[in-house]
Amino acid sequence: ISGRPRKSPYPMISVSEALEIILSHADQCTNKVVPMQDALGFVLAQDIIANDPLPPFPASIKDGYAVLSSDGAGVRVVDGDSAAGCRPEKLKVSSGKCVRVNTGAPIPLGADAVVQVEDTELVKEANDGRTELEIKILKAPSKGQDIRPLGCDIAVGQKILSSGTLLGPAELGLLATVGVTNVLVVSKPTFAVLSTGNELQEPGEALREGHIRDSNKTTLKALLRQFDYPVVDAGIAKDNPTSLLTSIRSALNQADILVTTGGVSMGERDMLRPVLTSDFNAEIHFAQVFMKPGKPTTFATCQFNGHKKLILGLPGNPVSAVVTATLYILPLCRKMSGRSTYENTCIRAKLSTSIKLDPRPEYHRALLCWSPGIDLPVAHSTGNQLSSRLLSMASAQALLKLPPATSETQSLPDGTVVEALLLNM
Residues that bind Mg ion (CB under 5 A): 84, 197, 262, 316
Residues 359-376, buried b or exposed e (16+ Cβ, 10 A)?
ebbbbbbbbbeeeeeeee
Instruction: Based on the shown chain and the rule CB under 8 A, indicate whether residue 200 belongs to the binding site for a second copy.
Output: yes
Closer by beta carbon to a second copy, 35 or else 306:
35
Tell me the three state secondary structure of residue 203.
coil
> Is the CB of residue 332 less than 8 Å from the CB of residue 257?
yes
Beta strands in 89-131 (DSSP E): 97-101, 113-116, 120-125
Question: 134 burial class (0-12, 13-18, 19+ CB within 10 angstroms)?
Answer: middle
Closer by beta carbon to a second copy, 17 or else 52:
52
Binding partner of 259, given a second copy, Mg ion, none, CB within 5-8 angstroms per partner class = none
Task: For the segment 242-301, give every residue that binds a second copy (CB under 8 A).
Answer: 265-270
**Span near a second copy by CB under 8 A; candidates 216-224, 249-257, 278-286, 327-335:** 216-224
**One symbol per residue from 21 to 50: x for binding a second copy (CB under 8 A), - otherwise; what is it?**
---------------xx--xx---------
Query: Residue 305 Cβ, how far from a second copy at the closest point, in Å?
Result: 29
Amino acid at 104: G
Query: Residue 55 Cβ, how far from Mg ion at the closest point, in Å?
Result: 13
**Span near a second copy by CB under 8 A; candidates 297-305, 345-353, 356-364, 406-414:** 345-353
Query: Residue 24 Cβ, how far from a second copy at the closest point, in Å?
Result: 22
Closer by beta carbon to a second copy, 187 or else 317:
317
Instruction: Based on the shown chain and the rule CB under 8 A, indicate whether residue 345 belongs to the binding site for a second copy.
Output: yes
Task: For the segment 72-111, give every residue that binds a second copy (CB under 8 A).
Answer: 81, 83-88, 100, 102-106
Query: Residue 99 Cβ, how far from Mg ion at the closest point, in Å?
Result: 17
Instruction: Based on the shown chain and the rule CB under 8 A, indicate whether residue 389 belongs to the binding site for a second copy.
Output: yes
DSSP string for residues in 388-419? T-GGGTTT--EEEEEPPP-SS-SEE-TT-EEE
Number of DSSP helices (H) and strands (E) in the chain, helices first: 7, 28
Closer by beta carbon to a second copy, 18 or else 349:
349
Give the angle 55-60-66 at the CA atoms, nearest 5°: 135
Task: For the segment 148-167, give every residue that binds a second copy (CB under 8 A).
Answer: 148, 152-154, 160-161, 165-166
Instruction: Based on the shown chain and the rule CB under 8 A, indicate whether residue 112 belongs to the binding site for a second copy.
Output: no
Query: Residue 262 Cβ, how far from Mg ion at the closest point, in Å?
Result: 4
**Residue 73 vs residues 10, 67, 134, 395: alpha-carbon distances, Å:** 84, 10, 13, 62
Total residues contacting a second copy (rule CB under 8 A)? 121
Instruction: Based on the shown chain and the rule CB under 8 A, indicate whether residue 367 belongs to the binding site for a second copy.
Output: no
Q: Which of 93, 99, 172, 186 binds a second copy (CB under 8 A)?
A: 172
Q: Which of 58, 53, 115, 133 is nearest to 91 (CA)?
A: 58
Phi/psi at 336 (5° precision): -65, -30
How many CB atoms within 10 Å of residue 258?
25
Query: Residue 199 Cβ, how far from a second copy at the closest point, in Å?
Result: 4
Question: 305 burial class (0-12, 13-18, 19+ CB within 10 angstroms)?
Answer: exposed
Phi/psi at 324 (5° precision): -70, -35
Alpha-carbon span 305 to 401, nearest angstrom = 40
**Span near a second copy by CB under 8 A; candidates 65-73, 114-122, 250-258, 285-293:** 114-122
Q: Which of 249, 346, 352, 222 is nearest to 304 (CA)?
A: 249
Query: Residue 187 Cβ, how far from a second copy at the closest point, in Å?
Result: 19
Closer by beta carbon to a second copy, 341 or else 353:
341
Closer by beta carbon to Mg ion, 199 or else 419:
199
Binding partner of 88, given a second copy, Mg ion, none, CB within 5-8 angstroms per partner class = a second copy
Binding partner of 9, given a second copy, Mg ion, none, CB within 5-8 angstroms per partner class = none
Q: Give the pairing of strands 120-125 and 182-186.
A: unpaired
